[in-house]
Amino acid sequence: MALFSISEDTPVGSQVFTLNGTDPEGDEVRYDISFENGSKEYFRVEPRSGHVTLIQELDREVEDEIVLLVSITDGRNKVVEKVRVFVSDANDEKPEFLSLPYIVNVPEDTEAGRSIFKVRAVDKDLGSGGSVTYFLQTSPKTKFTIDGHSGVLRIKAGEFLDYETSSTHFITVVAKDGGGKYNGKHQVMTSSATITVNVLDAQDSPPTFVGTPYFGYVYEVSEPGSEIFTVSAKDGDQVNPNPIHYSIVNGSDGSFSINSSSGSIILMSYPVQLKNELYELKVKASEVGPENELLDSAVTVVTIRVVDLNNHPPTFYGETGKQDRFELTMCEHPPEGEILRGLKITVNDSDQGANAKFRLRLVGPGRVLRVVPQTVLNEAQVTIIVENSSAIDYEKHSFLTFKLLAVEIDTPERFSATADIIIHLLDVNDNTPRFSSEFYIARIPENSPGGSTVVSVTVSATRLASSFLL
């Protein structure tokens, strides 16, 4: 066994050698293997046959040489030899990365192709099994590449880093050995590690507005100096951001200003002096450099609407001003569809938009008169039209009373107003005389003198004749 070597992947229990010896006197010999104190016993020998068996798993990377004492005896004499058994390599070790974890900080403006990091892995095997090459286990869209032999990591040509898009990249690097025999087969072994690439922000991004789109409102009770709205922008570069300067580019017509530091938009005029109902202000946010110079900028639109408050109820007006009582004298039985021209009524709501939309209706004897229009926006002349002529009858009522009601439609307050309309009727000759009874019965003594009253007859209208029975 002086020149004996054994592969580290030899299975435990394998017969690895046979000792052979003789005795000059022809006596039977026996064999034995022993180890120095403290040494692990890797082999066992069958005393008679000399067959040597592996009894412990081998690992060349832990122990590449085994010292053992081989002896032969005939029972009286014994010869002992010290033998060194060499353990040969098998490809049983993976490459091992050094100095983990891998964390690298890279400025986002680093040029493509520049080296940003170097990985290193070692393989304890010998020969091709101990050689290491590298590759990246990433998608085709990766921004990085690695040199297969040196392990140098670079930004791929044509690519660039962008902190605002992705501030961290996780890259899987694989170390692969050159392959070798293990248990009779060719085996290639690999290991992997993660490289964390932290992208450092650089001053390369313009400011951005936060919370867009922007809408502000001016109310009719607002006063000059009131804060209408506040815009907010931040530097697109989040590390050491620059301060922001705000300005109005156009669209204010002198009615609005902006605080250059806070972004607060201020009303400069009374609402009644504003010419438009809608303003679109173009607001610019600029980065301020170290020398107070204005750098990159961004522009947004702030839409400001002048809003009316619902603080006016509908109001009725006559020819002389506000009025809540209207009177008219007319003949009975006017033609149906006739306009009551003696009534001069105007209704108005001083608010704007939906706050000034209301409905008109008449409250009184049903289906006698109708009002036009029924729906009003802001202001209208009120027209009252005869709908049922027969109901306008002096003999039934000498005057008619109605309530003209105006009620807002779409407002939560539902403001309203009422006006009394009183129509005095004039009688016309539209009825024929009529007896109060269809016949009369009278009794008179035969000796009644001339001039005596026989019967009293009452005539009102409509009936032409009556019967008399004496």
- The tens digit of pLDDT for each residue in 159-168 reads 999 887 888 9
- C-alpha count within 13 angstroms, C-beta hemisphere, residue 210: 8
d(CA 78, CA 367): 143
d(CA 187, CA 90): 9
Task: List the alpha helices (DSSP H) in 202-342.
Answer: none
Q: Which two tokens stand for residue 77?
A: 């004499």
Looking at residue 352, its pLDDT comes to 80
Looking at residue 197, its pLDDT comes to 95
Residue 364, C-beta contacts closer than 8 angstroms, at least 6 positions apart = 400, 401, 402, 403, 421
- C-alpha count within 13 angstroms, C-beta hemisphere, residue 338: 14
Per the listing, tokens 């001039």 go with 451
Residue 464 DSSP one-character state:
-
pLDDT in tens, 243-300: 999 999 999 888 999 999 999 999 998 887 888 889 999 999 998 988 888 888 999 9
d(CA 239, CA 198): 13
Looking at residue 470, its pLDDT comes to 52
Q: Which two tokens stand for residue 426?
A: 């004039």
- Quote the pTM value: 0.48
The DSSP-derived string for 52-105 is EEE-S---TTT-SEEEEEEEEE-SS-EEEEEEEEEEEP-S----EESS-SEEEE
> Quick check: 313 and 415 in contact, CB under 8 A?
yes
d(CA 236, CA 342): 72
pLDDT tens per residue across all 470 residues of the chain: 878 899 999 999 999 999 999 998 888 999 999 998 888 999 999 999 999 999 999 999 999 999 999 999 998 899 999 999 999 999 999 999 999 999 999 998 899 999 999 999 999 999 899 999 999 987 777 899 999 999 999 999 989 998 878 889 999 999 999 999 998 899 999 999 999 999 988 777 788 999 999 999 998 778 899 999 999 999 877 767 889 999 999 998 889 999 999 999 999 988 878 888 899 999 999 989 888 888 889 999 999 998 877 778 999 999 999 999 999 999 999 999 999 998 999 999 988 878 899 999 999 988 899 999 999 999 999 999 999 999 999 988 899 999 999 999 988 889 999 999 999 999 888 777 777 777 778 888 888 888 888 777 666 654 444 454 55
d(CA 197, CA 166): 10
Per the listing, tokens 């992997």 go with 192
Name residue 454's amino acid.
V
pLDDT in tens, 25-60: 888 999 999 998 888 999 999 999 999 999 999 999
Q: Which two tokens stand for residue 383?
A: 């027209």
The DSSP-derived string for 160-203 is ---TTT-SEEEEEEEEEE--EEETTEEE--EEEEEEEEEEEP-S
Q: Measuring CA to CA, which residue among 190, 203, 191, 285 is closest to residue 247?
A: 285
> Quick check: 241 and 234 in contact, CB under 8 A?
yes
Percentage helix, strand, coil for the chain under 3-state DSSP, each rounded to 5: 5, 45, 50
If you compute the radius of gyration of the chain from its CA atoms, what whole number of angstroms results?
57
Name the 3-class secondary structure at 325. strand
Domains of the chain, each with CATH number or no CATH: 5-88 (2.60.40.60), 96-200 (2.60.40.60), 208-307 (2.60.40.60), 315-426 (2.60.40.60), 432-470 (no CATH)
> Quick check: 284 and 276 in contact, CB under 8 A?
no
Looking at residue 468, its pLDDT comes to 46
